[in-house]
A and B are shown apart, each in its own frame.
Chain A
């Protein structure tokens, strides 16, 4: 009996220590970024362009660039993702065909982001001759987030109870009408949650935009989607590796990191809140 009790005591405390260690690591990491980041954060930092070879000034162009890249990629990927999910769930035939598509989506989801970057470089930048531009970067990012949008839309559509569809069919609605008027509106909050999560993902990616959209420095804001842009994640990387004045660059990198972090965490937090609210208010 004694041995069993000791084992249980040890076991529980070892497991407890794993979560404590994990949390200490992660919280330490967050804390450091927050403390260092907040010390440089100011309104000017957010709203001014960089000056003096990136050693002073703000990151406004990078914020704008990230905004454009993210929005455009979601605008491209969202309709494609939702329509694909509709096909997979509502028209799921023939089986072998669906299996091929599903395998493709799962494979896409696992492709490393740098490979997306190379694909974008070879196809959008070079082959289609879109050059290094917002368009090339957003197209690359949109393929990267497509599997996320498809998967979350699929889950959302599957959750719509069968009896809604049955009731609509019973009233003489066609399949298209059932999907557009009943299924999609009922699934919309969950579909949007997935889309919001994909915004967060697109905003934080660096490798896919390195060769397709991002530039270390431009003073001007982009005039069209054919311009190259600064972007926050790439800005952090570039400041840390290409800067020649580390003592001045590192704080700016921390400042950019805190803005990016708050953006991404804020986006995810919104999604989580919507989801829990939905679950609580759900009547079906």
Chain B
């Protein structure tokens, strides 16, 4: 039985006059990998950023509901900072802070006001182990995070999001700036992580969506075209536009 963790109902979003997302209603199941695909400019990153209200920063206007664990994250009096801890995010380009690896991973905990050194140490280690980075960096935790390779940086960013104990991890094209080897590693990691956490991944790499996701959402020009199990969408798409996109006719 699949439980829905995140539900959107008639979600609309505007930047100024531009209508970016149109009437999107989807159910995101728990502890699965959910891919959001579609041609550039279809609004897939914007949709992802609705879930942790990152769009607030660029002044988006929203209509409709997004319900996370029974609570509307736009309507009810929720603390957006808490929300962003519950809904972690990893960005296109690895974006470590210009601090040590340790300080990077501990950042969210310190923001939360946690002072207990032992607890922080433990969480940092745990998070780095979660992303298979611990063995690679345990001897240089206090070195600058920029000394890591691109793939390691991205995994560290995932660990950084992990440290504050999120329920969902949003991945915005997390491998688009990485080489194939690092990409492989991150894909394996994602599949492993879904045992613990719900994952939403935006990708313009169709093959990647096929390899790692359980469910796929296809967006086109701000509209939801199709949502369903990845194997069904990839083998028997119901909409002709989905089929065209998957076969490389556009995008």
Contact = CB atoms under 8 A, between A and B. Distances in A.
Contacts, number: 68
B98 interface: yes
Contact of B85 (A167, A171, A181, A284): A171
Given A186-B98, A283-B144, A171 B54 contact: no
A163 interface: yes
Contacts of B54: 166, 169-170
Interface in A167-189: 167-174, 177, 181-182, 185-186
Contacts of B164: 171-172
Contacts of B107: 168, 171, 173, 181
Interface stretch (B60-68, B86-94, B230-238): B86-94
A283 B88 contact: no
Interface in B65-100: 81-85, 88-91, 93, 95-99
Contacts of B144: 283
A164 interface: yes
A167 B84 contact: no
A169 B97 CA distance: 12
A171 B95 contact: no
Contacts of A177: 111
Contacts of A167: 91, 95-97, 157, 160
Interface in A159-216: 163-164, 166-174, 177, 181-182, 185-186
B98 A166 contact: no
B210 interface: no
A186 B81 CA distance: 22
Contacts of A169: 54, 57, 84
A182 B107 CA distance: 10
A141 B146 CA distance: 40
Interface residues of B, number: 29
A166 B81 CA distance: 13
A166 B58 CA distance: 11
B81 A163 contact: no
B228 interface: no
Contacts of A163: 91, 93, 95
Nearest to B89: A170
Interface in A84-123: none
Contacts of B82: 172
A171 B89 CA distance: 7
A177 B80 CA distance: 14
A168 B95 CA distance: 10
B108 interface: yes
A185 to B, nearest CB: 8
A101 B90 CA distance: 37
Interface of B: 52, 54, 57, 81-85, 88-91, 93, 95-99, 107-108, 110-112, 144, 146, 157, 160-161, 164
Given A168-B111, A171-B161, A181-B111, 20 more contacts: A164-B95, A166-B95, A168-B97, A168-B107, A169-B84, A170-B54, A170-B84, A171-B88, A171-B111, A172-B83, A172-B85, A173-B84, A173-B108, A173-B111, A174-B81, A185-B99, A186-B97, A186-B98, A283-B98, A283-B146
